[in-house]
């Protein structure tokens, strides 16, 4: 088990529906990272922006972006995670991909489609939580709108780190910051939220406001709004364990079953 986990989030102004340009940007950022980085978190739909045109940009699981993620993870010996538009069995998904340094892949399909934008009309929803075991840490990665649904994110799996990647517009950015801290506090979990900046083709503005938060809701790292850049933090598992044992809040959690209609 690795007691300390060095994480990086990359806050970017995404190029609309332009995977090659976005990959080039992220490659430059990842190449600049120090050798002690363990995990890199990218935004939601990091190759395209939050598009409702999957037929134009969808890739396969053996496509160029997945191969690129594997190449970068191996080269830098880091884990890399982000979501992108995937076509699988003639169906489109907003799919989170977690690539280990070995090249092994784990995936999570966004559970809560953003109906306000019609995401439910063009993408299939997932129905399974993913818990990634990485360097002795249990990691639960989720996507954007999932943040609004605390039951789905509830720490019944004894995870250590909760990840949210997003295209969360500036008009609702207060909710983004507030809910990230709420999820961290109620689950006594380190939480990282990586959001994009800039303006997309639909004229929605994004300010970033990416955060790393500890298990008590304290900010460990942040970036100024609208800034393109890298967010860094070192998470310490023994500190989290000590506070969890001292306070015992997770011992009193409710247990429940989620039914899918």
DSSP one-letter string for 121-184 = HHSBPP-----EEETTEEEEEEEGGGGG-HHHH---S--SEEEEE----GGGHHHHHHHHHHHH
Could you give phi then psi for residue 198, rounded to 5 degrees?
Answer: 85, -160
Whole-angstrom distance, CA of residue 20 vs CA of residue 13 = 14
Round the average pLDDT of the chain to a whole number and report it: 97
Which residue out of 59, 119, 140, 144 is catalytically annotated? 144
pTM here? Answer: 0.97
Closest by alpha carbon to 99, among 29, 21, 19, 30? 30
> Tokens 């649904």 — which residue?
149
Chain segment 17-34, per-residue pLDDT in tens: 999 999 999 999 999 998
110 given a catalytic annotation: yes
Q: What is the pLDDT of residues 46-85, one digit of tens each?
A: 999 999 999 999 999 999 999 999 999 999 999 999 999 9
Active site residue 140: no
Per annotation, catalytic residue among 17, 59, 106, 110:
110
| Candidate list 44, 59, 106, 177, residue with the active-site label | 44
Judge whether 38 and 162 are in contact, CB under 8 Å.
no
44 is catalytic: yes
Instruction: State the CB neighbour count (10 A cutoff) for residue 56.
Output: 10
CB-CB contact of 78 with 65 (8 Å): no
**pLDDT level of residue 259 (50, 70, 90 thresholds):** confident
Per mean pLDDT, which range of 100-104, 241-245, 255-259 is the poorest? 255-259
Q: What is the pLDDT of residue 46?
A: 98
What is the mean predicted confidence (pLDDT) over 102-115?
98
H helices within the chain, ranges in order? 19-31, 54-57, 64-76, 119-122, 150-153, 173-187, 237-247
């Amino acid at each position: 088990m690795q007691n300390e986990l060095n994480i990086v989030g990359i806050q970017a102004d995404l190029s609309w529906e332009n995977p090659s340009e976005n990959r080039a940007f992220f490659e430059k950022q990842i190449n600049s990272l120090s050798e002690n980085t363990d995990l890199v978190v990218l935004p939601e739909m990091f190759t395209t922006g939050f598009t409702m045109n999957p037929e134009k940009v969808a890739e396969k699981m053996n496509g160029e972006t997945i191969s690129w993620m594997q190449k970068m993870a191996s080269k830098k010996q880091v884990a890399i995670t982000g979501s992108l538009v995937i076509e699988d069995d003639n169906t489109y998904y907003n799919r989170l991909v977690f690539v280990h340094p070995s090249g092994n892949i784990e995936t999570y399909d966004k559970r809560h489609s953003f109906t306000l934008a019609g995401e439910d009309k063009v993408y299939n929803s997932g129905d399974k939580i993913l818990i990634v075991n990485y360097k002795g840490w249990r990691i639960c990665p989720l996507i954007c709108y999932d943040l609004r649904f605390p039951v789905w994110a509830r720490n019944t799996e004894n995870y250590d780190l909760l990840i949210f990647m997003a295209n969360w517009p500036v008009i609702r950015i207060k909710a983004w910051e507030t809910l990230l801290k709420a999820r961290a506090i109620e689950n006594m979990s380190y939480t990282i939220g990586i959001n994009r900046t800039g303006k997309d083709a639909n004229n929605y503005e994004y300010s970033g406001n990416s955060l790393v938060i500890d298990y008590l809701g304290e900010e460990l790292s942040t970036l100024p709004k609208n800034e393109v850049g890298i967010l860094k933090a070192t998470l310490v598992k023994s500190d989290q364990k000590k506070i969890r044992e001292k306070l015992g809040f997770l011992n009193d959690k409710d247990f429940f079953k989620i039914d899918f209609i």
